[in-house]
Amino acid sequence: MQITLTLNGVRVSEEIAPDMLLIDFVRAHGCKSVKRGCETSNCGLCTVFMDDKPVLSCSVLAARADGHKITTLEGLQQEAAEFGAFIADQGAEQCGFCNPGFIMNALALFREQPYPSEEQVKEYLAGNLCRCSGYEGQLRGIMNFLAWKKQKEGAQ
């Protein structure tokens, strides 16, 4: 079947198998930040934005993306760069495998709620799994980023 979508700002048309998953489609197009983790929609590693809303690409058929805008971390480099540095500063990127999913979901949270409370952050990111850090570094990085962002915006 033929699909056409916009992937990180580039229009892509391709013939695909009807059962192809979106994760396989974006990875085949060089988006290696999208990871396969649990394959049960429980870990958040495969998060992408479909029309600016987070979806788990391991549970979405590529055919469902036909006509939509898909954005991966590769398409959000500027937006993610400042925030990612705060995660790294806390040593929360130990193996780095979960970071793209965490960053994608944190960016989605910031778009919905520019200054979430710590409890809101914990609730929103509850579906992201990290097997090596215990989440405290990610949480500290997020809260430090939000404090920095608030201070930066107040200074302007």
Architecture of domain 76-155: Orthogonal Bundle (1.10)
Q: Where do the domains of the chain lie?
A: 2-74, 76-155
Q: Where are the beta strands (DSSP E) in 9-66?
A: 10-15, 47-50, 53-56
Residues 41-53 pLDDT 10s: 888 899 999 999 9
Distance between start and end Cα atoms, the chain: 51
Tokens representing 68?
A: 């939509």
Architecture of domain 2-74: Roll (3.10)
* Cβ neighbourhood burial of 115 (10 Å; 0-12, 13-18, 19+): exposed
> What is the rounded average pLDDT of the residues 117-135?
83
3-state secondary structure of 24: helix
d(CA 67, CA 49): 14
In this predicted model, which residue has the larger pLDDT, 135 or 155?
135
In this predicted model, which residue has the larger pLDDT, 92 or 108?
108
